[in-house]
């Protein structure tokens, strides 16, 4: 299967899940997670009409951003954030999905160049209570969101999660539902966000069933990743 065929297939599946779970047509955006994939593959995806890409590692991401410089691509940083990398991320990406503390958010706010629009951010929530995972606990998300809303060079867009790997579909849905419910709590507090960033190659049906508005898909588009050098 080519990247183009994979993209057609994924878009069809997204549309069919929107219909199956009573979601509005076109309500789920597709982010191509391109970590560990060569720039030429990213370019093939761009030619097949893909617009949103996510990278996890700064150096690798910067190489692809410059290689793809002439194309109309929206770059999302979806990896773990080290504080010594925030400036380059703020200068080169449009979105950051893994915000989980105020200190990092403040750095992005201070370092976002003023000639660019505000940096779009999602707060990462650790819905599965895994000690190894980044992300705030569910009850910490709203206080952090309120602090982020006060930062003028950031635009709080949504919530993001990478749940624990689950054995069955219903268990996957239960994890994603926690983020959806938190999103509704935000709405009840007057914080209306358009992005619920959840769902990857192996679990995006469950995520769409539970209200995802942005799925982040890597291997199902590009195939297996190259080993990280
Ligand atoms: C790698 C990655 C993805 C995509 O994972 P696949 O299983 O390849 O679809 C999505 N989100 C994040 C945060 C990732 O690191």
Report the separation in Å between the CA atom of 188 and the middle of ligand 1, taken as the mean of its atom positions: 30
Instruction: Look at residue 131 in the predicted model and tell me its pLDDT.
Output: 77
Q: 137-161: buried (b, 16+ CB within 10 Å) or exposed (e) per residue?
A: ebeebbebbeebeebebbbbbbbbb
d(Cα 86, Cα 95) in Å, to the nearest integer? 12
- Give the atom of ligand 1 at the shortest distance from the alpha carbon of 225: 8
Question: 166: which 2 tokens?
Answer: 């689950």
Which residues make Cβ contacts (< 8 Å) with residue 134, sequence separation at least 6? 80, 98, 100, 124, 126
> What percentage of the chain exceeds 70 in pLDDT?
99
Q: How many helices (H) and strands (E) does the chain have?
A: 9, 8
Question: 189: which 2 tokens?
Answer: 């507090």
Instruction: Look at residue 93 in the predicted model and tell me its pLDDT.
Output: 98
Report the separation in Å between the CA atom of 27 and the middle of ligand 1, taken as the mean of its atom positions: 20
Instruction: Look at residue 132 in the predicted model and tell me its pLDDT.
Output: 74
Dihedral angle sign, alpha carbons of residues 50, 200, 161, 67: negative
35, 36, 95, 200: residue to mutate for ligand 1 pocket, most atoms within 8 A of CB: 200
Specify the residue with its C-alpha closest to ligand 1, atom 5: 218
- Give the atom of ligand 1 at the shortest distance from the alpha carbon of 98: 13
36-92: pLDDT as tens digits: 999 999 999 999 999 999 999 999 999 999 999 888 999 999 999 999 999 999 999
Q: If DSSP codes are grouped into helix, strand and coil, which group holds residue 8?
A: helix
d(Cα 66, Cα 36) in Å, to the nearest integer? 16
pLDDT band at 228 (very low <50, low <70, confident <90, very high): low
The residue with tokens 């799925």 is 215
Specify the residue with its C-alpha closest to ligand 1, atom 12: 78
The residue-averaged pLDDT of 82-103 equals 98
Compute CA distances 166 → 30, 63, 101, 181, whole Å: 22, 34, 27, 19
pLDDT band at 164 (very low <50, low <70, confident <90, very high): confident
Pocket of ligand 1 (CB under 6 A): 33, 35, 56, 78, 162, 200-202, 216-220
Instruction: Look at residue 129 in the predicted model and tell me its pLDDT.
Output: 84
Report the separation in Å between the CA atom of 189 and the middle of ligand 1, taken as the mean of its atom positions: 30
The residue-averaged pLDDT of 137-151 equals 98
187-211: pLDDT as tens digits: 999 999 999 999 999 999 999 999 9
114-124: pLDDT as tens digits: 999 999 999 99
Average pLDDT value for the chain: 96
């Amino acid at each position: 299967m080519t990247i183009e065929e994979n993209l057609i297939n994924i878009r069809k599946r997204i549309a069919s899940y929107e219909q199956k779970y009573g979601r509005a047509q076109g309500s789920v955006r597709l982010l191509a997670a391109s970590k560990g994939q060569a720039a030429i593959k990213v370019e093939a995806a761009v030619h097949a009409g893909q617009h949103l890409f996510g990278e996890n590692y700064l150096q690798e991401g910067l190489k692809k951003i410059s290689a793809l410089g002439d194309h109309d691509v929206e770059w999302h940083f979806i990896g773990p954030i080290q504080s010594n990398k925030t400036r380059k991320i703020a200068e080169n990406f449009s979105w950051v999905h893994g915000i989980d503390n105020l200190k990092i958010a403040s750095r992005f706010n201070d370092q976002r160049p003023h000639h660019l629009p505000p940096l779009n951010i999602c707060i990462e929530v650790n819905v599965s209570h895994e000690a190894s995972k980044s992300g705030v606990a569910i009850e910490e998300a709203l206080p952090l969101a309120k602090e982020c809303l006060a930062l003028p060079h950031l635009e709080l867009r949504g919530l993001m999660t990478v749940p624990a790997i689950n054995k069955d579909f219903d268990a996957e849905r239960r994890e994603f539902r926690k983020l959806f419910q938190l999103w509704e709590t935000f709405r009840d507090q007057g914080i209306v966000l358009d992005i619920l960033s959840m769902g990857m190659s192996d679990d995006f049906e469950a995520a769409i069933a539970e209200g995802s508005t942005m799925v982040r898909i890597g291997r199902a588009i590009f195939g297996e990743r190259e080993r990280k050098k």
